[in-house]
Structure 1
């Protein structure tokens, strides 16, 4: 299977769960260590297992790590766990995308985790700012009562489209266009 297809399926996680910055931060806090650990374990699996056993082990390891991360989130930030619903379990998809890649080194998981965390935070912040006209809303779900006074309100109303899935696709497309523009500009100057 093409890793790009699994990557596209992994977008469901970001589109569905990043309508608030706190949700994006929660996914980043789960995704970064999870993908890093999974990436570190992949070379060990690849070295000691045949193809079929490798894929089965990669699937089971990703499911185990995601389940453990979800349990830790439930124990530490129950309200955030409830707000995210089933979306953290979709972190299995980026793990499987890592397993499908050519395994160059053990740091591939760290790179994927950093990219995922950055994208989750960026989407969460921009969707909350544009869709809800606020920032840091519900951060008490993650940090407790100390964060109750954190929310910033930019006005009375945002643009509700950006808080919904179609708005997330618009923002992802805009971020991809900006990324291509920036990378093409730096490539042209070399």
Structure 2
């Protein structure tokens, strides 16, 4: 399996779990440190392990870091951890994508920042378009102090955007927009 196939499998995490901004924030809070630390430790694995041992070590390290992030999120924000469910453990896939790409330590931080940006952007857009609200369930992370912070835009949103197909539509639109912006910049 190559890095591109792992990256496509990693989309399951972003499309499945970012129907609310708070879930995107939870993924970002877990994903950024996991990917950054994995990127820092990956050169050590590469230096000391070969072939099968390297892949076994990368999978073990990814599983360890993901489990640690899950436990920390469970201890600090149980309701958010419960809402993310098994999606949190899919953080292993972007880690394995980093291992397949032979990235540097900076690559882990860069991947973590891109993942964070995508999780927050998809969470914001999907909640705004799919639920016609923002900041729903922020009490899962910040406690009962923020219980009334929900911003409602109207009666209903477009339910398609709250589902996985809507996430793919938004992701495709964002990728096309990004390509259009970067192509225009390169032509200028």
Give TM-score, length-normalised by structure 1. 0.98
Q: Deviations over 1:43-70 (max 9, x none)?
A: 0111111121111000000000000100
1:35-184, aligned counterparts within 5 Å? 35-103=35-103, 105-184=104-183
Give the aligned partner of residue 30 of structure 1.
30
Give TM-score, length-normalised by structure 2. 0.99
- Give the match's secondary structure for 1:85: helix
CA distance in 2, matches of 1:66, 1:102: 20
CA distance in 1, matches of 2:50, 2:131: 50
CA distance in 1, matches of 2:145, 2:183: 44
CA distance in 2, matches of 1:12, 1:165: 9
Q: Deviations over 1:119-156 (max 9, x none)?
A: 00000000000000000000000111121121100001
CA distance in 1, matches of 2:124, 2:44: 37
CA distance in 2, matches of 1:46, 1:102: 9
Q: 1:102 deviation in Å?
A: 2.5
Q: Deviations over 1:71-92 (max 9, x none)?
A: 1111000000111110000000
